[in-house]
């Protein structure tokens, strides 16, 4: 499954790697390299890969898009009109892992992390006709148990409903899939829309087999599959350095009880928390939503960037074509509507590259006036990841750094001839 993607690249096998800090260091060192690192986390039963989509080029390649605009459109279309799953009977060659959950590539990434974590696994759950797939970090407790961070979203709702009725939710944990599947399970279509069906639309079809106990759909060729339950037991989970590279606090989170841990010869996957791959998987679907939202209020959106400095989550730079003066401010408002966790946004003209922080600063220096071009919205709902806000409340700020008088030549940047 992963191989369908990695075979297009040079994969460098680095042998056994210690789970504590060494895996994280390796992934960081290979983040911008051409080759994809493969390794065996010491003591585990599978080979792992990482940094599959740590570059934007590989992210576009994963979904076969020629441009970002095409990628945004296809992702939005897949979320809006998901496809169908193709069920196959034969799951392929899986074997029961000798050490249960300890056979999987759990790793400790940062010094303050509370334990060893699985970062690239997603949970498939179906309850009363509603199926959901979403990525959750899992902290290893023992061979049969892991603590799962479940933010109050779709899986949380299924879990609570099932808990009231049956005391537990049947779940299937899947690890090691094509990055297009991971991107799809990182999106947030409405409750009731199944992310694997989003993946199917995005990929032009997705083959799945029924998981051995619950019959949940699992993409064919997945590296590892865990059948289990999210139980009523809660334990302390965390701290864990998340996408903003801040330690998320300790919470009492549900325990996953594994009934069966299956591995195959296919690769599993480790995502470096706070790394480029993490930022791309979480941020790209939000960029798509910002792109769609801003596209409704201005003639053209050239580029949307959730910047690395903003953790790929809190800061956006957007380059646009204006029709009228004032379009820049409408673009700011549309950006906040497209990505509710967005905190600061800078809107620039098409001659400024959002990927070039110096040019963005130059646009702010020469085209922006604070009393005229600054938008501040107080006490809006923001990201709970941002410790400077109060309990999910935040102030949002937008800078309209577009040329204030459209077509005024005084704002043109001089170019060296030749």
Q: Are 2 and 178 in contact (CB under 8 A)?
A: yes
Least CB distance to Mn ion at residue 157 (A): 9
DSSP β-bridge partners for residue 41 = 17
Closer residue to Mn ion in complex, CB, 26/135: 135
List of residues contacting Mn ion (CB under 5 A): 132, 154
Residue number, 87 or 191, with CB nearest to Mn ion: 191
In the complex with Mn ion, the residue whose CB is nearer, 188 or 395, is 188
Q: What angle do CA 281, 287, 290 make, to 5 degrees?
A: 150
Q: What is the number of the residue whose Cβ is closest to Mn ion? A: 154
SS3 content of the chain, % helix, strand, coil (to 5): 30, 30, 40
**Residue 228 C-beta: closest distance to Mn ion, Å:** 19
Distance (Å, whole) CA 13 – CA 257:
32
Q: How many residues does the chain have?
A: 418
Count the neighbouring beta carbons within 10 Å of the beta carbon of residue 361: 13
* Angle (deg, nearest 10), helices 276-295 and 68-80: 80
Least distance CB 198 / Mn ion (angstroms)? 9
Strand duo 95-96 + 85-87: pairing: unpaired
Decide whether 132 or 341 has the Cβ nearer to Mn ion: 132
- Measured CA to CA, the distance from residue 95 to residue 328 in angstroms comes to 57
Tokens of 57: 């080029």
Helices 68-80 & 195-203, crossing angle to 10 degrees? 130
Alpha helices (runs of H) in 222-326, residue ranges in sequence order: 276-295
Q: How far apart are CA 403 and CA 297, in angstroms?
A: 17
Nearest distance from residue 195's CB to Mn ion, in Å?
6
Q: Catalytic residue, from 113, 242, 349, 373: name it.
A: 242
Q: Residues of 82-94 as b/e, b for ≥16 C-beta within 10 angstroms?
A: bbebeeeeebeeb
- Closer residue to Mn ion, CB minimum distance, 241 or 288: 288
**Cα(202)–Cα(256) distance, integer angstroms:** 30
242 as an active site residue: the answer is: yes
Shortest distance, CB of residue 187 to Mn ion, whole angstroms? 8
Give the integer Cα–Cα distance in Å for 202 and 135: 18
Paired sense of beta strands 85-87 and 206-210, if any:
parallel
The answer to whether 347 touches 382, Cβ cutoff 8 Å, is no
Minimal distance, residue 127 CB to Mn ion, in Å? 12
Q: At its nearest, how many Å lie between Mn ion and the CB of residue 279?
A: 20
Question: Catalytic amino acids?
Answer: 242
């Amino acid at each position: 499954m992963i191989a369908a993607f990695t075979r297009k690249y040079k994969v460098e096998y680095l042998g056994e790697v210690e789970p504590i800090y060494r895996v994280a260091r390796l992934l960081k060192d290979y983040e911008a390299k051409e080759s994809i690192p493969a390794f065996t986390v010491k003591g585990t039963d599978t080979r792992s890969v990482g940094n599959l989509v740590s570059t934007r080029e590989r992210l576009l390649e994963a979904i076969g898009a020629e441009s970002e605009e095409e990628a945004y459109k296809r992702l939005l279309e897949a979320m809006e009109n998901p496809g169908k799953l193709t069920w196959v009977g034969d799951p392929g060659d899986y074997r029961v892992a000798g050490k249960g959950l300890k056979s999987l590539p759990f790793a400790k990434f940062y010094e303050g992390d509370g334990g060893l974590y699985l970062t690239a696994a997603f949970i498939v759950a179906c309850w009363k006709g509603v199926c959901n797939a979403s990525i959750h970090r899992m902290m290893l407790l023992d061979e049969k148990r892991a603590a799962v961070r479940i933010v109050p979203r779709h899986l949380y709702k299924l879990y609570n409903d099932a808990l009231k009725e049956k005391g537990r939710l049947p779940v299937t944990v899947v690890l090691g899939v094509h990055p297009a599947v991971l991107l799809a399970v990182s999106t947030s279509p409405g409750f009731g829309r199944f992310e694997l069906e989003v993946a199917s639309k995005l990929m032009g079809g997705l083959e799945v087999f029924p998981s051995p106990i619950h019959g949940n759909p699992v993409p064919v060729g997945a590296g590892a599959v865990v059948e289990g339950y999210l139980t009523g037991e809660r334990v302390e989970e965390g701290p864990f350095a998340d996408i903003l590279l801040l330690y998320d606090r300790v919470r009492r989170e549900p325990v996953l009880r594994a009934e069966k841990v299956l591995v195959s010869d296919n690769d599993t996957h480790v995502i470096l928390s706070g790394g480029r791959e993490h930022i791309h998987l979480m941020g790209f679907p939000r960029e798509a939503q910002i792109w769609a939202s801003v596209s409704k209020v201005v003639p053209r959106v050239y580029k949307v960037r959730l910047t690395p400095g903003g953790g790929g989550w809190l800061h956006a730079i957007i380059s646009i074509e204006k029709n009228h003066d004032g379009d820049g401010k409408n673009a700011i408002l549309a950006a906040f509507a497209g990505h509710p966790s967005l905190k600061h946004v800078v809107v620039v003209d098409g001659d400024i590259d959002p990927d070039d922080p110096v040019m963005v600063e130059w646009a702010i220096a020469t085209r922006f006036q604070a009393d005229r071009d600054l938008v501040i919205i107080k006490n809006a709902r923001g990201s709970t990841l941002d410790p400077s806000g109060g309990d999910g409340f935040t102030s949002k700020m937008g800078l309209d750094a577009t040329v204030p008088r459209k077509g005024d030549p005084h704002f043109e940047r001089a170019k060296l001839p030749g």
